[in-house]
Amino acid sequence: MSQAEAMNAPKPKRGGLVGVILKWGEFVKFSHTIFAMPFALGAMMVASREHYRYLEEAKADLPAPATEYGFPGIKLFLLILICLICARTCAMAFNRIVDRKFDAKNPRTANRHLPAGEISLFSAWTLCGLSAVGFLVAAGFINTACLVLGPVALFFVCFYSMTKRFTDYTHVWLGVALALAPIGAWIAVKGGTMVELFTLLPFSQSLLPPLVLGIAVVFWLIGFDIIYAMQDFEFDRQHGLRSLVTAWGPKNALMASFLSHMVMLGLLLLFGILCKMRVAFLIGWLIIMFCLMFEHWIARKRSLKWVNTAFFKLNAVISSVFFVVVATEVLFPFFRRLQ
């Protein structure tokens, strides 16, 4: 048995309601939510703080004091959470549906739920459709900007699954899809009025910070998705599926991945500067840099076990560290620059 077959061999399944929940959670890789959600929640906290300051400077009625400390209210927080979960579930279900025939041929993915017959195609489409509806309804309850931009976001997060059929830059599409999470969270908090949303100065209250953060997420995703694609280099090349790995070869693609992560680090530092963060954020930035260096060191082993470690565990640490340090900067005045 090959390493891929051994790692993806069928595992014992639990019965009952817990088993059903685990099966559907595994189908859409719910555990991978940890990639985008921390960036979105971090953006939400900064946007909430800046929203409070904007109203304070405008001498308007102020919201609850918790808003200044990153919490925009229980209703808005839950709506943002619903949007994040529904958009990702819809995109992942769509990915599994359109890739099911390729998954069936690939030893690494042959045991996924659709090719293995554990979940029916109708059920998968139903989940995809319900998630799309849930996302659009929740976005509509947030504000007009989210209502208008919701369908556009849904198109991007789903369309990524088709890009490997016609472009080598499929990683960029996936990066844009993930980057919509922090940008969307910012718009959810500050998009109540167009005047506030398109404020130009100070920079911390403008759309510049979420755009910089979003582009940082794009380059982060490009970097680690190239590493993830190394697993399927031979299969993708044989079946005409495109990526930078098949176009440039593993060695050149890994160099592109490294350069992407260097750009991501620069943009992440710029985000911290724009949002006037200091000690905690800098410590977190250094931890993220170490994780990225370690990720590229182990990626060059080209072992499936190591690639999975580089893809999931280290990137989960990176996103979690980002959220923790941003939350620390927002919550504790000691870490914030005096105005």
Cβ burial of 284 (10 Å; 0-12, 13-18, 19+) is: buried
> How sure is the predictor about 4, in pLDDT bands with cuts at 50, 70 and 90?
very low
The pLDDT score that the predictor gives to residue 15 is 62
Q: Across the chain, which distance is largest between two alpha carbons, in Å? A: 69
Phi-psi region of 159 (alpha: psi -120 to 50; beta: other; left: phi over 0): alpha
CATH number where 196 lies: 1.10.357.140
15 lies in some domain: no
Residue 108 predicted with pLDDT over 50? yes
Q: Give the structural domain span for 138.
A: 26-335
Query: What is the mean pLDDT of the segment spanning 99-109?
Result: 87
CB 210 within 8 A of CB 183: yes
9 lies in some domain: no
13 lies in some domain: no
306 lies in some domain: yes
The DSSP code sequence of 243-261 is -HHHHH-HHHHHHHHHHHH
> How sure is the predictor about 29, in pLDDT bands with cuts at 50, 70 and 90?
confident
The pLDDT score that the predictor gives to residue 268 is 96
Query: What is the mean pLDDT of the segment spanning 5-16?
Result: 55
Q: What is the pTM of this model?
A: 0.88
d(CA 229, CA 261): 16
Query: Do you find a cis peptide bond into 202, omega within 30 degrees of 0?
Result: yes
146 lies in some domain: yes
44 lies in some domain: yes
Look at residue 336 and give its three-state secondary structure.
Answer: strand
Least reliable range by pLDDT among 81-85, 165-169, 193-197, 289-293 = 193-197
The pLDDT score that the predictor gives to residue 142 is 93
Least reliable range by pLDDT among 5-9, 48-52, 140-144, 273-277 = 5-9
3 lies in some domain: no
14 lies in some domain: no
Q: What is the number of domains present in the chain? A: 1
Residue 179 predicted with pLDDT over 90? yes
The pLDDT score that the predictor gives to residue 333 is 67
Cβ burial of 194 (10 Å; 0-12, 13-18, 19+) is: exposed
